[in-house]
Structures are given as C-alpha cells and as structure tokens.
C-alpha cells in the first residue's frame, strides 16, 4: 500500500470501529509547538549540568528544588500551547460516541482543552499542583508566576506538580482506567510515540481488539505487530480524515 491507500484504510477502520482508544505520546504535543522535554538540543549542555532523566527525578526534586523548577518551567510548562488537529479529531470521536477515551503520556492538558472528557494521563498533568504539606490545590499559572520554587500561600510548603517523576510510581487508578479502556476497545490507535517510554509497551499488551494502528514519523519496535502502520507526519494524515 502507498501512503494514500494507507490513509484510506485508516478511514475505513475508523468508520467500522465501535470503541476506539487512542494512545498518544510526545509527537502529538510537538505539533502544538511543545518539544519533547527529554530531548537535548545544542544549547542544553550550556543551560543544564545534568540530563533530563536526572533533573526530573524524585531525589533531584527533593535535593535541588530550585534547579528542578528552573528546568520544569523552561522545558515542561507550555501554557500558551493550543490543541492541534490530532487533539481535535480525538475529541470529536469521543463526542460522536466512537471513542472510549485517550491514554496519554503527555502532561500538557491539551486533550482536555480540545474537549476530550475521558483522558487517562499516565504521567500526570501540569494543570494540577498540590502543596506537599497541606495538599492545597494550585493551577499551572501559580507555578509559572512564582519566582523560583513555588510555595503554598496557606502554609509555606513546596507546591509539587502532579507529574510523575523518575523513581515515582504511576497512579494505579489511572493505569487501571487505561487498561480497562484498552481491553474494551476494538481499535487501538497509537500516535506520536516510539513506545519505548515506560509503561507504553506494557499497556499495548492488554489490547485484544481487531485493529492496532500505529501512526508515527519514524518506525517503532511494534510496527510488525500492528495491522496498519503509517510513518508520516500528522499534518499529512489528519486533514484527510473525517468522523
């Protein structure tokens, strides 16, 4: 099949699907201008002394909150970003009753901004932040506007983003919701992830439906297991689809 035929095949799968689950990774956010915070550009080593995996770990947050929040605000908080054509398409599928929801590795809240209601954020969200002492809730703007480390205005505790750091466990409730959705789906569409970030590959194993579709710019280790693989940009694929 050439690329056009593959897109037509994807359209057919969507038309016939009853319960689609979408699984989204960093590539979906990139289209909204949010770079993958794990990637290190040329300037990175001048700005940061450690790799991202070290800075966004639990022990680093505890030991160097100033440096953690410098990285976090610079690389992980993108409050001006807007949902793109992929977020909109996914939200539309849910609205039309075709989708059981979206499982995402992204923490930017853009699926909800597009109108999705059932969103399983396995790595948490920058939109939720809690005081470590009294658990008071704060929005993302509060973190952004704080100078350096954000402190609770009620008790003075450090406000921690509800984002899963390295060395921290995933929320069992969110994982169980994601697994239940995947198990009940007849079509699983994986978008913008190379499936190497934990626990993406493990979650895929719960899928027992009809069609596994992978759309990613580059090949992934799971391409051979998929029923349809489109290695292309979302800008080339999604404008040609309808629900």
Binding site for Zn ion (CB under 5 A): 131, 133-134, 136, 152, 154-155, 157
Q: How far is the CB of 221 from Zn ion (least distance, A)?
A: 44
CA distances from 173 to 20, 125, 180, 242 (A): 21, 15, 11, 33
Q: Which residues pair with 57 in a beta bridge?
A: 166
Question: If you search the block for the tokens 């991202």, which residue do you land on?
Answer: 52
Q: Which of these is catalytic: 87, 111, 123, 135?
A: 123
Write out the two tokens for 58. 């639990």
Q: Output the CA–CA distances (angstroms, integers) from residue 12 to 27, 64, 112, 241, in the order listed.
A: 24, 51, 26, 10
Smallest separation, CB 75 to Zn ion (Å): 26
Q: Min. distance of Cβ 160 from Zn ion in angstroms?
A: 11
Strands 124-131 and 119-121: unpaired
Residues 20 and 189: beta-carbon distance below 8 Å: yes
Cβ–Cβ under 8 Å, residues 137 and 118:
no
Strand partners, 20: 99, 187
C-beta of 130 vs 206, nearer to Zn ion: 130
- Does 135 participate in catalysis according to the annotation? no
> Residue 44 or residue 137: which is nearer to Zn ion going by CB?
137
Least CB distance to Zn ion at residue 108 (A): 25
Closer residue to Zn ion, CB minimum distance, 63 or 153: 153
Nearer to Zn ion, 154 or 225 (CB): 154
Catalytic site positions: 123
């Amino acid at each position: 099949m050439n690329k056009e035929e593959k897109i037509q095949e994807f359209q057919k799968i969507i038309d016939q699907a009853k319960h689609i689950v979408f699984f989204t990774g960093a590539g979906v956010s990139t289209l909204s201008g949010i770079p993958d915070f794990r990637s290190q550009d040329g300037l990175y080593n001048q700005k940061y002394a450690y790799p991202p995996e070290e800075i966004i770990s639990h022990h680093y947050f505890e030991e160097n909150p100033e440096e953690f929040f410098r990285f976090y605000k610079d690389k992980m908080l993108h409050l001006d970003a807007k949902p793109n054509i992929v977020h909109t398409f996914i939200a539309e599928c849910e609205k039309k009753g075709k989708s059981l929801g979206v499982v995402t590795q992204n923490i930017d809240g853009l699926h909800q901004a597009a109108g999705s209601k059932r969103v399983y954020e396995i790595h948490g969200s920058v939109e939720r932040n809690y005081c470590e002492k009294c658990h008071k809730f704060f929005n993302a703007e509060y973190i952004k506007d704080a100078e350096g480390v954000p402190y609770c205005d009620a008790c003075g505790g450090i406000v921690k983003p509800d984002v899963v750091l390295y060395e921290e466990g995933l929320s069992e409730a969110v994982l169980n919701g994601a697994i239940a959705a995947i198990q009940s789906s007849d079509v699983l569409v994986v978008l913008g992830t190379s499936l190497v970030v934990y626990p993406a590959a493990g979650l895929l194993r719960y899928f027992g439906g009809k069609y596994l579709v992978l759309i990613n710019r580059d090949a992934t280790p799971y391409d051979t297991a998929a029923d349809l693989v489109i290695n292309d940009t979302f800008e080339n694929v999604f404008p040609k689809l309808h629900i």
